[in-house]
Amino acid sequence: MVLQHYIPGDRHRIMAYLKQEVLLYKQSGTDFSDTPTTITDAYNIKLDMGKADRKDVFKFNIRNPHDKYSTGQRKFEEGDNVKIRMWKNAATYALATSNNRLLFDGIITEPNLKVDTKGHILEMKGSSRTELMFGSLVFVSLQGDDAVTLPGVIKHIIDEVNGDNLLGTGSAKKIKYIYLSVDQDGNATTDDDTISNVKSDGTAYTSKVQLREIYRKGIEILKKYSSSEWTADGNYEYYLDQNNYFHWKPKIVTLSDGDSLNEGVNARQISIKVSKADIITGVIINVGMSPSNRGNTIPVINPVAVTQHGAKWKFISRFQNLSETIMSFEEVTNNSSFNTNQDRFPISYGGAGYTTAFVSSATFAANSTINLPAATKGSPITVSSDSEYDAVIRREAEFIGQRFGQALLDTWSNPRFEAKVNMPLTNEYTTADLIPHTVESFNFDNKNLRLSFTNHMIWGTESDSLEDETDAGEN
């Protein structure tokens, strides 16, 4: 299909020649046919892609398809592969510049037919390989010697999703990735990692994560372990690119290679709002069980944010082993003072009491109501009874949990700017790109917003970008 489209803003400029086509690859077991059928008369093509929080989807229509595509068999079936191409100002897709062409590689999920006064219309709907993450139930148990780093957890989740869908080595239906220079099929490669083992500060992940997730949706687990609660490096970006490679990476501050989006220049329509969808104004941190086997949680709030936006709570289980870690450190360091076969308290306090191996994270006065002795920041604590030992373990875990909770609220409790921009058809921008926005009427001067989602039709592209959490509140 060829369409001619005047470029807005200058009636003396030549028309943009817009073209589109659909390539159909029939399903063949766990693979697809090698030779496609070219569908040249698809119309109303719409592509919606972006962060893996939601499925990448496509849809298109074909009018009066019976004699062309259905003779002898149903040409379009659930599970078939389609590659949708759009481009402009070139005779073929291959000759178009990378910024002027677009490819969506998807799987048909709904091959529907509608018959009305306008004729017979095939209404095709489908999604990218993100569909696999939303449908799969994943079992993850990475504990003890099986524990891996956080990026290793992400790799494991994708492997589980592929395995749950019975997609073996070399299957064209698999979600691809590159992690530590090895791809999803175990092949070494010199291409860049798509699952990053490097944090935003340039250091590598080395600490191993102990976790167990029992039959949860793949996308739910990915979202959980991509949050700042687990990365301690901000919320990570994760998405599937046009070649079906899964990306997981920190939010870097490098600007997009594409042009900035400017009011009256390359932005045809702009909609800006303040998004409060992800605001958290209070957290409850689970810091685990004390020596007396009592659970312990600590609430942390941002009082200014609560006043402005109301109480919006989140329960954090990331530190549920914190008290256990403190107790284990004591028992290993002062091994002769404990009999863990009996309980988790020191064997004896003697006349001078028991002095902890850990040093206190804060200075505080004694509190006889909860049997808490006084402590000095940076120094060990001397206790004289089981109740005092229990109290100082609880208090140390609470201080660490509180510090972590406050760090989360520093970035979670501010609303963020969101901008939707309609522009001529383009493929300049990639999900997670940091794009400068200039909107003089809203006092935006190269305001950096990160691309979350894009919607493509032959007539144009719409971007949906959101301010980073670390930039929110600075306006």
> What is the per-residue pLDDT for 52?
85
> What is the per-residue pLDDT for 14?
42
104 close to 23: Cβ distance less than 8 angstroms: no
* Adjacency order of strands within the sheet including 282-289: 295-301, 282-289, 313-316
pLDDT at 51 over 60: yes
> What is the per-residue pLDDT for 72?
55
> What is the per-residue pLDDT for 113?
87
> What is the per-residue pLDDT for 9?
43
pLDDT at 391 over 70: yes
363 close to 379: Cβ distance less than 8 angstroms: no
**Mean pLDDT of the 452-473 span:** 91
Q: Kindly report the CA angle at 7 between 6 and 12, in degrees rounded to 5? A: 80
> What is the per-residue pLDDT for 6?
42
Q: Which CATH number fits domain 2-128: 2.60.120, 1.10.10, 2.40.10, 1.25.40?
A: 2.40.10
> What is the per-residue pLDDT for 195?
98
Task: Give pTM, 2 decimals.
Answer: 0.84
pLDDT confidence band for 10 (50 / 70 / 90): very low
The C-alpha torsion from 222 through 225 and 228 to 230, rounded to 10°, is: 180
pLDDT confidence band for 451 (50 / 70 / 90): very high
* CA neighbor of 279 nearest in space, from 312, 256, 307: 312
**Mean pLDDT of the 170-199 span:** 96
pLDDT confidence band for 63 (50 / 70 / 90): confident
The C-alpha torsion from 146 through 151 and 156 to 159, rounded to 10°, is: -150
The C-alpha torsion from 326 through 330 and 331 to 337, rounded to 10°, is: -150
**Mean pLDDT of the 268-279 span:** 92
> What is the per-residue pLDDT for 159?
95
Among 90-99, 276-285, 341-350, 456-465, the range scoring the smallest mean pLDDT is: 90-99
103 close to 83: Cβ distance less than 8 angstroms: yes
pLDDT at 71 over 80: no
Q: Report pLDDT digits (tens) over 19-42.
A: 899 999 998 877 899 899 999 889
- Higher per-residue confidence, 8 vs 307: 307
**Mean pLDDT of the 129-145 span:** 90
Q: Report pLDDT digits (tens) over 228-251.
A: 989 989 899 999 998 999 999 999
Instruction: Specify the pairing of strand 434-439 against strand 269-275.
Output: unpaired
pLDDT confidence band for 88 (50 / 70 / 90): confident
Quote the DSSP letter at residue 259.
P
Query: What is the rounded CA–CA span in Å between residue 433 and residue 409?
Result: 25
